Structure 1
Amino acid sequence: MKSFKIYFNNNNSMKIKNILKSRRETMHAGLFVSACMVAGMTTAESALVSMGGPSLTSSTTVANSVNVDLDGNLANDLLFVFFGQGNLVAQGLGGAGFAGAVNGGSFIVTAYDETAGFTVGPSTNFGGGQGFSPAFGDLAAEASTPALGEWAGGEDAYFGFVFKNGSDDHYGYGRLVYNPTETTDTSSMNIVELVYESTPGLAVTVVPEPSAVLLGGLGFFGMLLRRKRAI
């Protein structure tokens, strides 16, 4: 049997080292992407649109209201109304609606907790809009017995919504801070932020913060990088 010897010069040895290094870096990058996917994070560029929202204070004599035009097309999408102190309702305009459920003949807008995470999309139940029944969604009704609405008593929470641009549905969420006793005879609300997905029909998801899974994935990726430097 013939034996063969393979000789490497310095150039060949360097090429092999570079190939092995490239393969290790590719493996590390793949593991990082996998960790992000497990954590619910995407590496694709986000299509979320974010903006600040309005504030509103109740009046003891008249109904105070404020409209929101989400996409800047000069057509209002969301309406918030104070019917006196401690009575805050919302309405979707032009096919828009809020995430929630009917309870005892009233539509109760859901108050989402950011720390638990939530998704607003095609499978979400919507109401409290011109195209729904009831046409208004309750956020807080302090005078009811018991108090009605998931913001009743004061709350800092998120609400979900859907609105239309033409015939396309866009999903989003907002953060609403409600204070039933801004003064002795007035209530207030402040919409801290409004976020929606610019891609029609695509759900939006709020991932709990901090995400233990994501932090674990990043820690694992950091460990791999330290091992790579040591090689």
Structure 2
Amino acid sequence: MKLLLLVVALGLAGASPLKDDKVCQPHSRPWQVYLHGGELSCSGVLIDKWWIVTSFLCAIRSDSTIASLGEHDVTVEEGTEQHIHVADVIHHSPYRSPLHSLSMVRLASPARFTEYVQPIPLPNRCPQPGETCYVSGWGSTIPNQYAPPHYLKCITVPVVDDQTCLNTSPDTVIWSPGMVCAGQANTDNCLDDIGSVMVCDGRLQGLDWFANGCMNPAYPTVYTKLCEYNDWISNVMAEYRPTALP
């Protein structure tokens, strides 16, 4: 009897966690950027050879952050990467209020566009309820389960209407017009990576703001609604243009 209990105990101790199999097709998101340095690790998205957009929650420092482009498996060098230092970080003002969560990152040198590194177009419209979109980032896609960055993950999410988002969001989330929600019960609605990127119809439409779906799988996740920020992004790119263009 004691031997049986020991075998069971050893089996439980060696049990694997829930399988997270939402790995993207390698290099299918050539605009995805891995931002890292010090204790920092989060996602961004390349919109221009000089510029990356990410969440304010990705606490980037221009003196210590590296942007790795052309990544899939961040634990090894695959020969497709470009590692570029960050030169400047511009946060949307007011900083990290209920109204905005958006930062722009200027690279110290321009990205070289290749098969593995390409920018994504900005929105030409806003996402609509019921529309199918695609989210990618490095992290767990299983609610309430942490996973260190490894392979790029991809999930498919439906955009939900604002009222549904309001009804399901925690009290700590204060709604603003700069938000859009996606994901719902019985769908993929969790990708636990700060700044994970939502793309709809081939264009950038969202950046992770509140990963509610990773805390409760019945809740949609809140994203920054990028279609509301085209003018701000264009103004920042013009104002902070590099002084010496190669």
TM, length-normalised to structure 1: 0.28
Question: As a proportion of its length, which structure holds more strand?
Answer: 1
Q: Which protein is bigger by CA-based radius of gyration?
A: 1
Question: As a proportion of its length, which structure holds more helix?
Answer: 1
TM, length-normalised to structure 2: 0.27
